[in-house]
Structure formats: C-alpha cells, structure tokens
Structure 1
C-alpha cells in the first residue's frame, strides 16, 4: 500500500512513561504531542534522519547485534532547553523501530545514566 511505513513501531513502557512526564511538565505547548507523533512517524519511514546519530550502547548491555542504538535531537524551541532527545533502537532485519526514552536538556545534559539505559533496553525485550 502506498504511503505505508517501511518499519514497524514497538513502543516500550519507559518511552510512554517519559513522554507522559514531558507532556505534564508544561514546558511545551499543546502541539508537543503532534510534533512527537510526526517525528515517530518519520522514523518509521527513515530511522536515520540527519538530526540523529549512532550512540554507543551502555556498557554491559546484552542484546542481539541486529539492533543499533541511536539518539535523535528534536528542536521544539530555542537553545539547548528547547531541544528534546529521543533514544531508540533500530532492527534493520526485522524492520523495527523501538523508542526507548524521550527527555529534555533539563532532565539530562547528554543522556540518561548508562545503568538506567541498560535496564530500560533489557526490560524492553521482556515486555
């Protein structure tokens, strides 16, 4: 079917929890959910946009080598405080995008601690 995404979405509990936290923060306007939905839809058609980059997996993370780890920067406002970051996994073989965590600069300057990321990644395969 034309217009169908090339990848499927596997949402995780942690992604839903962190998204809800950002929405409740009132740091962003009512269009925030629409913007994030458009970003996710875009990842299903192109999981490697120019505003994303490969990230090293947290030390000790045990997942299949067919998964790659990425961070996407989404500009919602001005400066670092106007950026939201989305951490996600991609499986090229099975054509899956798995959003793991969404956060802003105020919550984490670079990315969440490796220990928390590793737990999140491993938990996402048990859901």
Structure 2
C-alpha cells in the first residue's frame, strides 16, 4: 500500500486504489506541482495508474520533456486532486522511476492494465515499446 492510504477515508482509498475494471474517467486527476523556475503552483490534468499495488504518474510517451515531471524533480511534494466520483486533495510525494528494469516492469503492468477488454480510453492495443520513453514517477501519500 502506498504510504498513508491506510488512514484515508474508505471512499478516497477506493478511488486511489482503483482496479483494472476502472474506466478512463476514474483514472484522470489533477496535480498541483511547484514551478521549478517560478516557485508558483502549477495545476494540470493527468492520468494516474496502478501497478503492483502502487500508484504512478506517467505521461510524455513521445519522449519530449514535460513540465510536470521537471517540476517534481525539483520539488517532489505535490497535491493530487481526485475529481471524479469522490473529491479530495491529497498531499503526495513523487519519486522518479529511473532504474531501467523497474521502469520496464512498472510500464508493462500499466500497459497490460490499459489493454484490458474494457479498453479504458485507448484506441487499439497499447504497446509497451511506445511507453518506454515516458516520464514515470512513483507516488506515495505521507
């Protein structure tokens, strides 16, 4: 279990610990990071994922830089905003996943989840090779 999930209200915990049966809507959150240059809050919409019982943020499969990831490298503390079904603002911390073997293992689990028969928001099959350049951060809840 990711950090402080055990102490969360049951509805919030369920929203964070979604199962492969979750649709696209349940996988979308906002995050507020601290701008690495400006020091100001920066809020974006992003997908979050579950792999091996843990929570991850992942985007930027094109390999191009992403501001959210650069902000979290500079300041790993952020707020994860649940906004579909249950609403909650959760203090969180991100740790980049840089070890190649761990990245491949986590990304493979994410891709397998996205390729479930209910097809959450994807068109066609999602391929692991297309995700290997993605920005990936492990999320814990203090």
TM-score of the superposed pair, with normalisation by structure 2: 0.29
Structure (1/2) with the larger strand percentage: 2
TM-score of the superposed pair, with normalisation by structure 1: 0.31
